[in-house]
């Protein structure tokens, strides 16, 4: 019984201490975040403007991006085909284990 009597007090004390610690940490992190944001804004303001990139560099970037996307697409298609084949094999194995006739054996009985 003594454990139940102390539970409510301990729970309440833990909730209060936890909220105080969380509030203090949140305030500290928020002020540091504001300081960092202000420093970043000052650095961006002092930085010279970037020159425009040539259209040719954009074109080469687009080509390399499309090639990498095509390679990734092919790789995913291959993996999906492998997964489908594996799923079909497992279905056939489980069908024969559970007593469900596989399609090949049901064709034999109908003939």
Q: How far is residue 69's CA from residue 62's CA, in Å, rounded to a whole number?
A: 10
Q: Is the dihedral of CA 30, 33, 37, 43 positive or negative?
A: positive
Give the pLDDT of residue 108.
47
Q: pLDDT digit string (tens) for 59-103?
A: 555 667 788 888 899 999 999 999 999 999 999 888 876 665 555
Residue 18: other Cβ atoms inside 10 A: 10
Burial of 64 (0-12, 13-18, 19+ CB in 10 A): exposed
Answering whether pTM is above 0.75, one says: no
Give the pLDDT of residue 54.
54
């Amino acid at each position: 019984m003594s454990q139940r009597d102390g539970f409510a007090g301990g729970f309440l004390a833990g909730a209060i201490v936890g909220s105080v610690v969380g509030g203090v940490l949140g305030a500290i992190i928020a002020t540091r975040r504001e300081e960092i944001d202000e420093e970043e804004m000052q650095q961006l303001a002092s930085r010279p403007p970037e020159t425009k990139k040539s259209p040719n560099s954009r074109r080469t970037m687009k080509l390399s991006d499309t090639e990498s996307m095509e390679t990734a697409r092919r790789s995913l298609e291959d993996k999906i085909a492998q997964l489908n084949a594996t799923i079909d094999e497992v279905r056939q194995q489980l069908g024969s284990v559970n007593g469900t006739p596989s399609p090949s054996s049901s064709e034999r009985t109908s003939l």
